Structure 1
């Protein structure tokens, strides 16, 4: 095993306290793999951890963040097949028990055991190395772009939403939100052959990106209000105030809606009257079960999903504070920011 000269990791010791320090990789125990991290992403929940806004029980300080990542297997513990060494991989975050009712029906993201996830309660991939159960790994095709693959975790989350609403070719589809999740959802939904694929965009600088990801039309929130009831399928991927209500209003009678964002606790819910009278089915998504990961990885391997289109900034691991400054500056135009060990 080749170890970098001075392995490091980013630590959030407590809210508002972040540092980079030496971190020796932990050798894999039985059933585990040691991965050399190639790229790792930053998402809203990471910013939430630094700000201290993560709900109680969903973070364990001090923590090495990093649940979005790609890398190469460096070594494995018995009885994992040594052929895994050298493979390009991404990995699921939820450390599910595999025994409860939720796990047995395939909803391992809803495991009945206490919440446990890489980058939140376990050391994550804002580091040179990551040790995790080998069962969580998804092997990528040889020659895969590991830079792009680092965004497969959010892709898996919106893949879960797409699987729930199950769009049929020729249906009218809308996406609310033009951030990372919204653009990944747009790519996945575009691959399904919709008759129309509209994206609700608040920021004019995202219009071109939405079209590049497969949108046939781009709507402002005001325009979305005028198209109430037009769409068969709607995926909400914004989490901003009013996004869930917009998604439900866009759905026509008998429509299917998936909500992926987590709005503020005082957010007014969609009207139950609208839901019942129009017989709208609303699905919600928290993370991604294994089947959604498989869906995202297959779409990536086939070329139907290209997360590279969303990557706007690459920042060395040692400059992690600069990454947070970029994300907090609207003028920077950040979509997906990656850390490079």
Structure 2
């Protein structure tokens, strides 16, 4: 079953560093087990900006035209063989990854670590700055009517936050230091609050961002150039880095008390100097996260119940012809989360 869809669609394509164009491309046909989604909203991620400005993230290099965007929601308009036709018309949030389902990591439940992963907007896999995409039906998560398409798109960064606080071991009564009050930092703060943390300290160099963090779950904010987090706020049960800054990572780990955890989320240097003596003597667990597994049901529940506010994160709305402006909006300190609307930005 299908609703009426066009044969072609408009697509924003990254041709090279800071080189964008809009192309006319065929609308894909859903394979068996897939659904075709008409894209409603796509959040702009820091990784999109990094590919746009630098053409690579670590070993992932843009070597051919690439469609950016992996935070998305929309409506199912067609289904492939084996998918219940009743899904047509469903509002969904897309988990933007295709694991193989057969490797050792997938079978162990860690499908985010699948070596054969095809992840939206990660070279050479195209993303969602386009009007229609396909995804495996189980990764098109049903959105309650009370959750907006904007919030549905931002369930992806919320999933990063959920993965981080899970790794950090946040439970009711926990204390946590979060470095960085950008989109991921404030989302981690909201997730930590939802998981029961009673003390949530957010550090950032920018006063405007620190002030904003107080609206999104932080109980305290600090300027790391004024406050020494290694001595003035210690100890905390957990540290989450959402900055990628080497000094923030090192100092954050030093703020963690005995048997605590440090979780590295931010994109930073490929190598850093860490306080090994502190890690060893206090048995601090230091780990990273790479995307997420099984987070969408929790994320939807947190938003639908009002425990996490994603709509208020949106500070900019752009059409498909304005993707360049959306990607460059992060230069404005007042910008938090920009959203692209492939069908046209709402009035």
Partner of 1:261: 266
3-state DSSP class of the match of 1:305?
Answer: coil
2:139 aligns with: 136
Once the two structures are superposed, the pairs formed by residues 148-297 of structure 1 within 5 Å of their partners are 148-221=151-224, 222-223=226-227, 224-227=229-232, 229-265=234-270, 267-289=271-293, 291-297=294-300
Equivalent pair of 2:6/2:27 in contact (CA under 8 Å): no
How many residues get paired?
336
Label 1:285 to 1:59 Cα distance change in 2 as closer, same or farther (>3 A).
farther
CA RMSD in angstroms comes to: 1.9
Q: What residue is the counterpart of 1:107 in the other structure?
A: 110
Q: Secondary structure at the match of 1:242?
A: helix
2:54 maps to 1:64: no
Contact 2:68/2:126 (<8 A) preserved: yes
Counterparts of 1:197 and 1:55 in 2: how far apart (Å)?
A: 31
State the Cα distance separating 1:246 from its structure 2 match.
2.4
Residue deviations 1:113-163, cap 9 Å, x none?
2x4211223221101111122222111112421112211111111211111
Residues 1:4 and 1:250: Cα distance change in structure 2 (over 3 Å): farther
Counterpart CA distance in 2 for 1:164 and 1:288 is 11
TM-score by length of 2: 0.91
CA contact (8 A) 1:239 1:261 kept: yes
Q: CA deviation at 1:23?
A: 2.2
For the residue of structure 1 that corresponds to 2:98, the secondary structure is: coil
Point out where structure 1 has 5 or more consecutive residues left out of the alignment. none
Indicate the larger mover: 291-300 or 72-81: 291-300
| Mapped partners of 1:16, 1:206: distance in 2 | 26
2: CA distance between counterparts of 1:210 and 1:253?
Answer: 27
CA contact (8 A) 1:88 1:144 kept: no
Structure 2 counterparts to residues 74-153 of structure 1, below 5 A: 74-113=77-116, 115-120=117-122, 121-153=124-156
Residue deviations 1:264-308 (CA, integer Å, cap 9, x gap): 23x53321111001111112101112x223322222222212111
Post-superposition CA distance 1:197-216 (Å, at most 9, x none)? 11112211113321111211
SS of the aligned residue for 1:97 comes to: coil
